[in-house]
Amino acid sequence: MTSSVSKQDEEVRRSSFSEFQPLTKKPALENGKTVANDSSTAGRKISKKLTKNKKGRVKRKYTQKNYDPTNPFGVLLLEVEELFTENGISEEKRAVDINLLLNSEDLLAKYNRNLEEVKVSKLTSSGDGLALIPHPEIEDGFQAVVIPFAYPGETVDIRIFRTHPTHAEADLLKVREGSEMRDNDLINCKYYGKCSGCQFQNVEYTKQLELKRKTIENAYHFFAKTLKAANALPKISDTVPSPLQYNYRTKLTPHFDLPRGKFNPEMIDMPALGFGAKGRPTWRESVQGGNKSVLDVEDCAIGTSVLNKAMSNEREIFKRIYKTKVRGGTILLRENTRAMKNDLDEEQKKKFINEENGSKIPDTEDNVYDEAPSSKEGETLIKTCCTDSKQIVSENIEGREFRFSANEFFQNNNSILPIVTKYVRDNLKFENSESEDRYLVDAYCGSGLFSIMCSDGVKEVCGVEVSKDSVAYANENAKLNNIQNAKFILGKAEQIFDDIKFPSALTSVICDPPRKGCDEPFLTQLSKFHPSKIVYISCNVHSQARDLEFFINNTENGSQYQIESIRGFDFFPQTHHIESIAILSLKK
C-alpha cells in the first residue's frame, strides 16, 4: 500500500481544513460574480468549539455531539469497533489526538492523504466499504476508513478527506481489482458514483436483497445480544423484492445552496439544483452533476416518471426565479394519485387533471400527468405532481384512497405496498375459534394506512396517534373508503392504551414507529396491555432490534412472547435502506 500527493489533494486538504474556520467569510467571487460557497458539513457528527490559548490565538477543541446508537453514525461506530476487535487492534494502536489534529495544518495534511491498493474488508449497514489502513503516526498502527461505492474484497485507491477519532472518510478514486458483485454495466443513472441517493446500482438485484437480509441480521447481532445468546431469534427470512427496481419513488426533494452572508442576488450564477454529493469520488468516468456539495441533477432514476417530468419543469421555473432567493431551499415533488372515471370526455378529463393542481408546464395551463390502470373497473388512475407542501394529496392502494398532507410521511414506494399490507393482514391472525370476535390496535397509525387495509376480518379497529392532524386524516380516510369498523383517537404518549377497551386476548397490535423506534414507556404499556399478537413494522431495523430486546427482557409480560419471524421488505431498491417486519406472539 503506497501513498501519493497531488495538487488536487492539496486543494482537498485546504477545503477540509476550511471547515474548521468560522463561518463568517464573505461570499466567493468568480469572474466578478458571486458563487455559492461549497462548505457543506453534511454527515459530520462533531462540533468544534473555538477557544483562545495564552497568546490569544484561536484554538479548536473537539466536542462529541450526542447521538442515538441506532442511527447511522451510531451503528457505524459499532461496525468500526468490531473491525478493530476482529483484527486484534488495541486502542493504543489506533488512537488519534483529534484536538491536536484540528490545530495543526501540517498534521491535517499528513492524515488527509492519498493511498493506493487499499483492501476493502466489509460493507457497512449504510452501503459503504470499510477498510483498515496504516496509521499515519503510530508504527504498526491502523485507522479504519469508510469508502463509499467500494465493496468487500476489492483493491482500491482512495483519497482521505476527513478524520474522526474513530475512523476516517475517503473518496474512491480507482478500482484496481473489483469484487464479483460489481457489475458497472448495470448502472442506470448518469449521476451514480457521486450522488448520495443510491449505493447498489452496480449490484445485481438478487444480491442487493441478500445484502439487506444481512443488514437485518447484523442489526440483531448488535442490538439484541441477549435474545441472540438465548437462541430466541428466528432465522432472518429472505428479503421480499420490490415489483419495481427503478422509477418507484413517489417523493423527491431536490435542493439548492446559496452563498452565506450578504450577497447581491443579481451577481450570482444559477446554483446547482439536485441532491447531495457523496464526497468527491473519481472512480467512474463521465459522471455528471458537477463537483459541488449539491449535484446538479436533471432526473432521478428511482423517481417515478411523473416526478421526473415535474422536476424538469421545476428546473425551468427555478432558472427564472433563483435570483429572488435569499437562502438555500428545497423543492417538494410528491406524486398525487386519484381515480378518474373512464366515461369522461376530453374536456372533463382535462378539467379533472387541472383540478389536481399538479406541476404545470411553465407558461401553459397544462399539467404534467401519467395514467395507470386501476384495480376497479371503469376507472383510471391519474398521477400528477404536487409541489405545495400544504396541499392534500392522495395515494391509491388496491382501490382504496388515502389522503394526507403533501409534507406528511407516507410510504414512498406504492408498488410494494399491496404486498406489505397483505403480509401484515395475514400475520395479524391468531389461533382462536372462527366464531370469536377479533380486534386490532394500530399504534403510530398515521393517516390510517394499515388500520384501513387490515380492517377486513376484525370486529373493530382502533388507530392511535399523538398527532392531531394525522388523526383527522385517518378518520377522513375511513369515511372515504366506507370503513365502518375503524376509529382513530388522539393518544397521549404516556397513556396510549388507556382509552382502548378491547379484550387483550382477542387483540392484535400493529406498531409502525418512526426511525427512532418506540420509547420505553410505550413498550412498557404495550406489555401491560398484553395483546395476543404484535406486528412491528420498522424503517430502522437497528431500533427495532433494540426495542424487541428491551420488550422481551425488561417488561412485565415480555417474557411471555416469542418472535415468530423477521423479514425485510425492499421499499428502496438500489439503496442500502431496508424495512423489516417482526411478528411476535404469545408462547403456547
What angle separates helix 205-223 from helix 541-554, to the nearest 10 degrees? Answer: 40
Determine the residue type at 398.
E
* Contact by Cβ (8 Å): 265, 34: no
Selecting among 189, 445, 462, 539, the annotated active-site residue is 539
- Cα–Cα dist 38/331, whole Å: 20
Determine the residue type at 489.
I
Query: Considering only CA atoms, which of 374, 325, 335 is closest in space to residue 357?
Result: 335
Residue 411 assigned ligand-binding role: yes
In the structure grid, which three cell numbers stand for residue 349, read together?
Answer: 378529463
What angle separates helix 72-86 from helix 205-223, to the nearest 10 degrees? Answer: 80
Query: Considering only CA atoms, which of 508, 559, 558 is closest in space to residue 536?
Result: 508
Residue 444 assigned ligand-binding role: yes
**Which residue is listed with cell 477519532?**
165
- Phi then psi for residue 165, to 5 deg, are -60, -30
Beta bridge partners, 538, equal 580
**Inter-CA distances, 244 with 240, 416, 479, Å:** 12, 8, 31
In the structure grid, which three cell numbers stand for residue 313, read together?
Answer: 419543469
For residue 325, the surrounding DSSP H or E stretch is none
* Active site (annotated) includes residue 454: no
For residue 529, the surrounding DSSP H or E stretch is helix 520-529
**Which residue is listed with cell 452572508?**
261
Provide the strand spans (E) within 512-560: 533-538
In the structure grid, which three cell numbers stand for residue 98, read together?
Answer: 483529534
By the 10 Å C-beta count (0-12 exposed, 13-18 middle, 19+ buried), 329 is classed as middle
Residues flagged as binding site for S-adenosyl-L-methionine: 411, 444, 465, 512
Residues flagged as binding site: 411, 444, 465, 512
| Residues designated as active site | 539
